[in-house]
Every structure is written in structure tokens, then in C-alpha cells.
Structure 1
Amino acid sequence: MPKFSRSLDVYQGFNFKKDKQSNVGVILTMKIAGKEIKADLETIKNPEKPTEDLKAVAVLNHYLWDTGATDSMYFSGQISTANRQLLAMLVLSDMTSIEVEFNYTIYQYDPLEKKYFKSNFPSKALMGLVEKSGDELKLMVADDPDDEVASPQNFTFQIGIKPQPQEQQLTLASAPQMKVEKKWGFKG
């Protein structure tokens, strides 16, 4: 089965340059265990419309999904200091709920049409669960700030999310007009 795996450019995410054409990804909304992770990165440029800002929870450096309906999605990226504190508190607490509600977009550049397009995105927020490996949750946040982008101060986080037992949909694209709909999760 094909994988959808992308290395994403954090620097380009924070400091968008029109003459650079690297992949960019953002988490737009996220709730974990009912706690909202705020979209407090407010100066992230929309690659499709670089004059517009996006509000993002995280600027991603990597995304992986094996494209199966029951396969987990893995995100790695940079979050604000306030969100780092909230996630660290969640990691340290006994999370009775591991539900995740989230929305994200992965952008790629099309050299033929000379523009960015959305290459992986859901039509609405997805419902998932923090993945577990034994008793360990696949949720990690760094203690020290990352130095790739100095300002705003940001911290690395990683999360694995498996689908809740409901059928959800997302779009994958290899070019602006070449899209396929994929299912994530099955009805329980």
C-alpha cells in the first residue's frame, strides 16, 4: 500500500518566501482530551495566497500516513511556548480521555502550474485517538526550544493519532487537478 510521507520545511512555514518551493504543513486546529491547543502562531503565510496569514497550532516538519483506513497519522512539528506548557501538562497527567479532534493541511508546489496546492487535507476536522504503544502514549513535547527558527520561540512536538471508529474522509493530491478521496476510520 502506498505511503503519504512528507518532509516539510519549518523555516519556509514561519518565513514564507515566494521564490522558494519547498513543502509546508500546518496543524490548523487541535483538541486533545477536550483541551484546546490554541492556534496561536498567527503570522504563518498561506502558501496558496501568500498575502494572507493563517492561524496555526503547529508548523510541521514531518507528516506520515500509510493511507490505510485504520492506519495512524504521525505529525512532528513546532508549537508555541504556551502550547508546549499545555501539552507537557497533558503528558505528565493521567489522561483519562485520549480523544483528539484536529484539522491540518499539507502544501506542495507544482512546478508546471508554478503555484502551491493542498496535497493532503480533510474536508472537516478529523476525530482520532492518541496512539498507544503498550502503556505509552505517542505524544511527546521537547523541554528546550528549537533553534531552527529563533522567533517566535517554539518547541518540537510529536503525536501519533489513530482513527476513531467512524468513517471520515480526506483528500490526497499529486497536482492541483489530480485528487483522490481516501477514507480514514470505519464505523464501529
Structure 2
Amino acid sequence: MAESSFNCSVYQGFNFQKDGQELVGHLVSLTIGDEEMTADMDVTDPTSANMSEYVKVVGVISKIYWNGGYADPIQLAFQVSTAVKNKVAMLQHQSLSNTEVVMKFNIYDYDPDAKMYYLCFHSDDTDLKGLIMKSGGDLAINIDMDQSMEVVSPKNYTMSLGVMPQPESQDIHLAVSNTDKFVKKWGVTVG
């Protein structure tokens, strides 16, 4: 099973430069339990023609990893706003009885032949439904209470999250260039 692992540039995510040509990742939406995280960061859409279109996102992704199997978790690290950090910190201090996760993400890579950014790993603007992964009895969710200093403004904090698929078949979209695209299944339908 081929793994998908992307290390994205947080700097490029916040301060997009079209000649940067580094991987960029956006956590477009995120709901944990009953808490919908606010998409309160305006960042550049790397696929917009003149780099002047902005999208609202919950977080700027630094790392995302999936081993490629139907039942394998998707593990992410990303930068969030103060408001999202506070919401997640509150969730961590309560007993999380509802560990459901609903999320959308986009990872962009640069195609040097087509001279443009394209989506290389994404949920195709469709909600992916999962559950917070358990790691040694603990939930794989963490928020850093200290401000990240990689990008100072806007203030942002590092969050990590591991998400197991819900028991239903879902699609993850991948591409190795602007034209070479394919879909892999995440989750197994039960019942």
C-alpha cells in the first residue's frame, strides 16, 4: 500500500508566493463532536489564476500523513487561530464523549511542466467523516498553548489530530501532476 505523506510550508501557506513552488496545505473545515471550528483565516488559493483569490480555512497544514489503507488513520499537524486554539483547549478539558470528526482538506503541489499549482491530496470539497484516533488509550488530539513562531502574524498555534475513518466507504483524491489524478478509498462500509 503506497503511503501519502506531505510536509507543507507553513510560511508559504500564510505568505503565498507564486514562485515559492512549495507544498501548501489548507484544513478547509473541521468539526469535533458538536463543535464546529471557525474558518477564520484568509489565505491565498494557490490555484487562482493571479494569486489574488482568498479562501477561508480553519488551519494551515504543516504535515499530513496517510499510510494508504482503507482503515488507516489520517494524521495532521496544522496551525490554527487563537479562537480555534481556545475551543480545542476547552474540548480537551472536558470528557470528549463524542469523538466524531468531520473535515475537509486540500494539499497543493506545484507542477513544473504545467507551471501551475494543482490539488495533489484532498477530499474534493466533500466532508470526510472519522473518529479521533486512540493512541495508547489517549485521544490523538493536541493543541500547543504557546504561540508558534514560524509565522508570527497572524498569531497561530500548532494543533495535531489523528482521524480514523467512520465505518463507511469514502473517497480520497490524489494526483501526481496537474493531469495525472486518481481516487483511493478510505473507510470500509459495515452492515
1:133 Cα deviation after fit: 1.4
- Alignment partner of 1:183 out of 167, 185, 191: 185
Q: Which residue of 1 aligns with 2:139?
A: 137
**Equivalent residue of 1:30, what SS?**
strand
How many residue pairs get matched?
Answer: 187
Q: Which residue of 1 aligns with 2:130?
A: 128
> Post-superposition, which runs of at least 4 consecutive aligned residues in structure 1 deviate over 3 A?
none
1:135 Cα deviation after fit: 2.2
Aligned equivalents of 1:148 and 1:92: distance in 2?
27
Q: Percent identity?
A: 36
Q: Which residue of 2 aligns with 1:48?
A: 47
Q: Deviations over 1:153-184 (max 9, x none)?
A: 00000000000001101211000110111000
Q: How does 1:1-188 map to 2 (within 5 A)?
A: 1-42=1-42, 44-49=43-48, 50-123=51-124, 124-188=126-190
**Equivalent residue of 1:175, what SS?**
coil
Amino acid across the alignment from 2:99: I
Amino acid across the alignment from 2:171: Q
Greater strand content: 1
Which runs of 5 or more structure 1 residues have no equivalent in the other structure? none
Aligned equivalents of 2:90 and 2:166: distance in 1?
24
Amino acid across the alignment from 1:74: Q
Amino acid across the alignment from 2:176: S
Aligned equivalents of 1:174 and 1:22: distance in 2?
14
Which runs of 5 or more structure 2 residues have no equivalent in the other structure? none
Aligned equivalents of 2:34 and 2:176: distance in 1?
34
1:16 Cα deviation after fit: 0.4
Aligned equivalents of 2:12 and 2:186: distance in 1?
29
Amino acid across the alignment from 1:37: M
Instruction: Compute the TM-score of the two structures, normalised by the length of structure 1.
Output: 0.98
